[in-house]
Structure 1
Amino acid sequence: MNLLDMILNTQDGGLVRQIANNFQLDEGSARSAIGALVPALSKGISRNTASPQGLDELIGALSRGNHSQYIDEPESVTRQAAIDDGNGILGHIFGSKDVSRQVASRAAESTGVDTGILKKMLPMLASMAMGAMAKRGLASGAAAQAAAPESGGLGSLLTGFLDADKDGSILDDVIGMAGRFMR
């Protein structure tokens, strides 16, 4: 199961319902918005973990935070603490608010969901992404895997999580995942 599928299907769609209710969207629109935004998060995470420093930062963040709560308790993603956490995550993933704004703008064009809503949704989804990675156990044992380059390390594990068709590239999956929700 890849990152997008995990977010969409966790708690029998509870995360999707929570986002829909929070932004007064129908579940289909919420699902489309999530489908348009999560691939950009996946790509950013993959890009950041390609370097040893980025990988270390992710391992540290996963081991320090209680990110799994965002998956276990869907209502927690709408709390201010989750939004603040998500904004910090976005800063690491995208590097600037301008990139976050561009991601939201592109998603608005393809989904019809208001850009303002998508900008507010993005930090929640960033928190969910960290929660999904924490639930997948990427934090447990990640340091040992990262220290063993011959096994592919955490970068390889992340690529597997972010790479839906297991071809070693997440770019086609990002495009494909987004396309499924743009129809």
Structure 2
Amino acid sequence: MNLTDILQQAGGLESMAKELGVSPGVAQQGADALLPAILGGFKKQIQGGGLEGLGGLIGQLGGGGLLDSVLGSQPTPVGQGNEVLGQIFGSKDISRTVAGDAAAKTGLDAGLLKKMLPMLAMMVAGYMAKQGGQSPGGGLGGMLGNVLGGLVGGGSSAPAAGGLAGSLGGLGKLIDMNGDGNPLDDILGMAGKMRG
């Protein structure tokens, strides 16, 4: 099961669709386009500070409550999601570039995708925190490794249209233009070209 399916089963995509006034199909299309970059950002955090560092960061930002905030009946406090994005992307320029890139691929409005980004970041971080609390012994760091390892390692066994796993398997082709395994530096480069 890929992460888009997991978030859909948890009710996250439906909650996001209702809050943004779009159909569940549009929410899923946006999630499929945005999640690879979000997971790439989490993966970069692990490479920089290790799993325990990322687990601690997610805990400070709200832990499992992040997912609950999106699922709740009140409007989502997207400030928390923007904090998560700030930690994994480093700048608003990258968030804008990710939304613009997803808009070009999907035909969805970039403004709508910008609203989806913090909500999706909250769902992913909250989901990982909740799963981390349930994994015996490994703690959040171990669980993050399992979730991200499984999702980011989507590889060639994933079907071409296999949702997130397939998207992540092809992340290098989509965003990692210089082949160094880190798509965010390439996203930054694209943002620089857009401004220039």
Query: Per-residue deviation at 1:136?
Result: 1.8
Stretches of structure 1 lacking an aligned partner (at least 5 in a row)? 147-152, 178-183
Three-state SS of the structure 1 residue aligned to 2:132 is coil
2:164 is the counterpart of 1:174: no
2:119 is the counterpart of 1:124: yes
**RMSD over aligned Cα, in angstroms?**
3.2
**Within-5 A mapping of 1:136-155:** 136-137=131-132, 141-142=137-138, 155=145
Change (3 A) 1:143 1:28: closer
Which of the residues 3, 12, 24 maps onto 1:15?
A: 12
Hey, what does 2:56 align to over in structure 1?
Answer: 60
Change (3 A) 1:69 1:171: closer
**Within-5 A mapping of 1:61-140:** 61-72=57-68, 74-75=71-72, 78-80=75-77, 83-137=78-132
Change (3 A) 1:61 1:77: farther
Whole-angstrom distance in 2 between the partners of 1:77 and 1:174: 32
Change (3 A) 1:7 1:142: same
Three-state SS of the structure 2 residue aligned to 1:113 is coil
> TM-score if structure 1 supplies the norm length?
0.72
2:1 is the counterpart of 1:4: no
Number of residue pairs matched by the alignment: 163
Whole-angstrom distance in 1 between the partners of 2:12 and 2:35: 13
Change (3 A) 1:115 1:68: same
Change (3 A) 1:154 1:19: closer
2:31 is the counterpart of 1:37: no
Whole-angstrom distance in 2 between the partners of 1:36 and 1:9: 18
Query: Per-residue deviation at 1:78?
Result: 3.8
Contact 1:163 1:173 in 2 (8 A): no
Query: Per-residue deviation at 1:122?
Result: 0.6
Which of the residues 143, 154, 160 maps onto 2:150?
A: 160
Stretches of structure 2 lacking an aligned partner (at least 5 in a row)? 158-163, 172-196
Query: Per-residue deviation at 1:155?
Result: 4.1
> TM-score if structure 2 supplies the norm length?
0.68
Whole-angstrom distance in 1 between the partners of 2:89 and 2:26: 24
Change (3 A) 1:137 1:119: same
Larger RCO (CA under 8 A, 6+ residues apart): 1
Change (3 A) 1:66 1:48: closer
Three-state SS of the structure 2 residue aligned to 1:50 is helix
Contact 2:64 2:127 in 1 (8 A): yes
Comparing 22-31 with 131-140, greater Cα deviation is found at 131-140
Query: Per-residue deviation at 1:123?
Result: 0.7
